[in-house]
Structure formats: structure tokens, C-alpha cells
Amino acid sequence: MGIAAVLALGGLTFAAVRKPAPVADATPIGATVRPPPASTDLPPPPVLAPVQAPEPVPVQRVAVAMPPSPIAAPPPTLRVNTPVLVVDLTAGDKPVAAVDAARAGQAPDKLSANEAFADRLSRTSPETVGIDRLSSLDRVVPQGTVISAVLETAINSDLPGLVRAVVSREVKGFDGSKVLIPRGSRLIGQYSSGLALGQSRAFVIWTRVLRSDGVTVQLNSAATDQLGQAGLGGKVDTHFLRRFGAATLLSVITGAIDYAVNTAGSGQVLVGSTAQANQLASIALQRQIDIQPTIKVAQGTPVRVFVARDLDFETGRKK
């Protein structure tokens, strides 16, 4: 019976395998295939949950101890610039003053000409000199004697030149017994030019004296006025018109141009400008402003000669 059941089950299985599959309904040619109606009952789109940013993690700061930096050695230039104090006891008081000024942190003040002169005299030690005696008192014109004379030639300081004068009073020796420079002797000298602004006296040097008998002696002494003041006074010409005349004229022209520019109509054309006129005025003033003054000493002016050395007429030499 069991065998019969197995055979029956196998027959059913074989019959099921051999049975043909059902043929689907074929769609006739030319028939319109309609798509199935779209379903309107679509599910709603899913709602996305907002993404939350992660919370920042707090950073913990850790203090790290830095190793101590090594101390750099001072550069060699600092040693050079370091103030050095040098004391020299063999040079007098001047190094001491310089040391005091260096200690005070300031340079010594520059002395004026008068202060330098006084300082030089105060530092000069007294000198010991021997005495001397004039050999022939009647034949020597001592230093400091004043010779009176009168100019024979005029002086104009625009250019340097020579000058001559005539002795108007006789000059005697030291003891006053003999006349050594008779009246009428000639004086020869030189005067300089190139005066500074504000200078009003001409500088004259008398070089020699010539007597009528042919005897001559070197003077090399300065000329003075009747009061003994150095130089010879005269008429001073400052050349004011030459120095400022051209600039004044150009300034007037500049003012006229300004007036013409301010009063000119719109249809007028003016050639030139005030800037050009001002430039010309400055050039003219620059060229003329440096003109030096001129001193004129008239012929016949009384002059004096201050003898700067002893004049020895016995041997014909100067002491």
C-alpha cells in the first residue's frame, strides 16, 4: 500500500509537469494601450528631522613654561662708545676743563673773540726780559712817535692803490736835539679795497719815508686820524640808488601790471604776468645788493702816522 501511494504521488507530479502553460490574451494589433490611471492616493513625503550640529568641545589651555632665553653678550660697539676719561696733568688747565665738561655731559661752550683774548692773556705766564738801551738818543725816532702829514693824493677805495703824503711837522730824535724827519719829507703808503657793509674808514699802511737829502727808512706803520683812531675817515658812498633803484623800478612795473590785470576786460589780452616781473625784480636785487660801499678821502686831508718800531737814522737800519 505504501508503494501504491508513492506511485500515485509520482504520477500526479509528472502530470503536473507535462501540463502546458496557459497562453496569455494577445493584444490585437492597432489597439490603443491605455496606461493605468495614476493613483492619486500617494503617501506624503517623509519629513526630515533637522540635523543638529555637534556641540563644540571646550579646548583646555595648558600653560607651557618657556625655557629662559640666554642673555646676549653686549656688541663690541658698546665698548667703543663707552665714555673714557683721560687725564693729562702735563698740559695745564685746559684738559681739566674738558674733563669737567665731559663729566657734566655737555661740550664746553665756544668762547667769543673777546673772551678768548682775555683767557689767553690770563693764562700767559709773565716773561722775564732783559733791558736794552738806545745807542744814540739823538738819532733814534722811538716807537709810538706820531708823524703829522697831509695827503697829496686822494683815496678811492673801489680799487686798492698807492697813496702819498707830505710831512707837515718836523720830527726830532728821542732827546729832541736833532731833526731826523724834516718838514716836506714824503710818505709812501698803500690802501686796501673791499670794504664790508657798515665800514666807514679806509685802511692805509705807510711803508716808507723819504727825506729831501735822499735818506729813506722803512716805516710799515698804520695811518690814523688826528685823534689816533685807526684808518682814515672820509665820504662814504653806499650806492643806494644802484643797489635798490632797479628793484624799486621793477616793483613799480609789477604794481602797474597788477592794476592792468585787475582792470582789464574779458576781451583784452595781456602779455606777461606778475610772476615774471617779480622774478626779474629779485634777480636785479640779488645782483646789485652786494655792491660794496666806497670811501673817498679828499686830497689835503690831515693824517697821522703811528710809528710801530724804532727808527735808527744813524746806521740806516730799523730796530
Buried/exposed code over 48-64 (b: 16+ C-beta within 10 A; e: otherwise):
eeeeeeeeeeeeeeeee
**For the segment 52-110, what is each residue's pLDDT rounded down to a tens digit?**
655 665 555 555 555 555 565 555 554 545 555 555 555 455 544 554 554 444 444 67
Alpha-carbon gap, residue 239 to 311, rounded angstroms: 42
Q: Is 0.75 surpassed by the pTM of this model? A: no
* Other Cβ atoms within 10 Å of 288 Cβ, number: 16
Place of cell 494601450: 33
Task: State residue 78's pLDDT score.
Answer: 47
pLDDT of residue 137: 87
Q: Who's near 88: CB < 8 A, 6+ residues apart?
A: 95
C-alpha cell at 139: 738819532
pLDDT at 24: 45
Q: Across-strand partners of 237? A: 294
What pLDDT score does 36 carry?
53
Cα 188 to Cα 162, 193, 198, 222, 240, distances in angstroms: 7, 17, 28, 12, 33
User: Within the chain, which residues score under 50 in pLDDT?
Assistant: 23-33, 38, 40, 78, 80, 91, 95-96, 99, 102-108, 317-319
**277 close to 250: Cβ distance less than 8 angstroms:** yes
Strand duo 232-233 + 204-210: pairing? unpaired
Q: What is the model's pLDDT at position 135?
A: 79
H helix or E strand, kind and range, residue 244:
helix 240-263
| Beta bridge pairs of residue 312 | 140
Tell me what pLDDT residue 68 has.
58
H or E segment and range at residue 253 = helix 240-263
Q: Which of 226, 208, 225 is nearest to 217 (CA)?
A: 208
